[in-house]
Structure 1
């Protein structure tokens, strides 16, 4: 029970961050790159854990897709950010690291639940971030990246929600 309440607190913290992306203050190009990079790193690292720790074939299959799609998106983000003159962080944010630690602490069927719940929260956050970026970033390359990637993230979000129940 303690694990679940800690996980829920971290998920709530991430959800609060997603809500910030919809606030009146537009997101800057650098903020978008920083947040998108952190989310992408979280997706890959948590999914690598799921490949070895998940008990359900569905979670492992989802993890494979997350690794493939997010490694590709991370490379595209790096290219767009480089062209925009923005440095891409190589470490995830403290919030994403805390969520990764929570997922990693779960075992067995609890791992599967924690992983899928984290995927829902992370994709809710990403959809809000990328939606805001399609309207708010100034650099055309970053905007094009956000517009191209948003439908894929929405698809991931729906899949995660469907399988987190």
Structure 2
């Protein structure tokens, strides 16, 4: 076997092991709620900032939808945590994590373009996280949360992609 083929084979095995490990390391319900809440809070705060800075009506309308839907989703997560008596991170910790997730606008870049691009990425990640949790959790409340939230996030993603394409 050539050195290149051997290297490719080894790399493929390592990648596949990493992919398998990713699913094997599913989050606990409390970890999922804390992480999803922080990402939701980052989405809300970024959208509030975008609402103030955006000039176009379509971006402003999108931000309002995101703020409303993500606020509802975070309230739902808080109710699940309370109902299941799950330990949740202090609000300050979630807020700090949310700040770290907020996108940065590069010098010379349009704010609306940066916001649209960040929304595509953040929404794709949120959808993937919620889908994985829904498939691996045994908690019916989290499955119900996914059923309620995923269609809204799919709509956000379609709209964010359209905003990104128009910028």
TM-score, length-scaled by structure 1: 0.76
Please give the alpha-carbon distance, in whole angstroms, between the structure 2 residues aligned to 1:131 and 1:85: 23
* Aligned residue number for residue 22 of structure 2: 23
Shift of the alpha carbon at 1:87?
3.6
Shift of the alpha carbon at 1:115?
0.9
SS of residue in 1 equivalent to 2:110: helix
Please give the alpha-carbon distance, in whole angstroms, between the structure 2 residues aligned to 1:118 and 1:106: 16
Shift of the alpha carbon at 1:93?
5.8
For the structure 1 residues 88 and 160, does the alpha-carbon distance in structure 2 shift closer, same or farther, using more than 3 Å as the test? farther
* Aligned residue number for residue 55 of structure 1: 55
SS of residue in 2 equivalent to 1:138: coil
Confirm or deny that 1:136 pairs with 2:153.
no
Shift of the alpha carbon at 1:27?
2.8
* Aligned residue number for residue 17 of structure 1: none
Alignment of 1:82-93 (within 5 A): 82-89=82-89, 90=91, 91-92=94-95
* Aligned residue number for residue 160 of structure 1: 160
Confirm or deny that 1:68 pairs with 2:64.
no
* Aligned residue number for residue 102 of structure 2: 100
For the structure 1 residues 53 and 88, does the alpha-carbon distance in structure 2 shift closer, same or farther, using more than 3 Å as the test? farther
User: What does the per-residue CA deviation read over 1:108-163, in whole Å, with 9 as the maximum and x for residues that have no partner?
Assistant: x7110111111111101101011011111222212211222111111111111121
Backbone CA RMSD of aligned residues: 2.6
The answer on whether the counterparts of 1:44 and 1:71 sit within 8 Å (CA) in structure 2 is yes
The answer on whether the counterparts of 1:47 and 1:64 sit within 8 Å (CA) in structure 2 is yes
For the structure 1 residues 31 and 140, does the alpha-carbon distance in structure 2 shift closer, same or farther, using more than 3 Å as the test? same
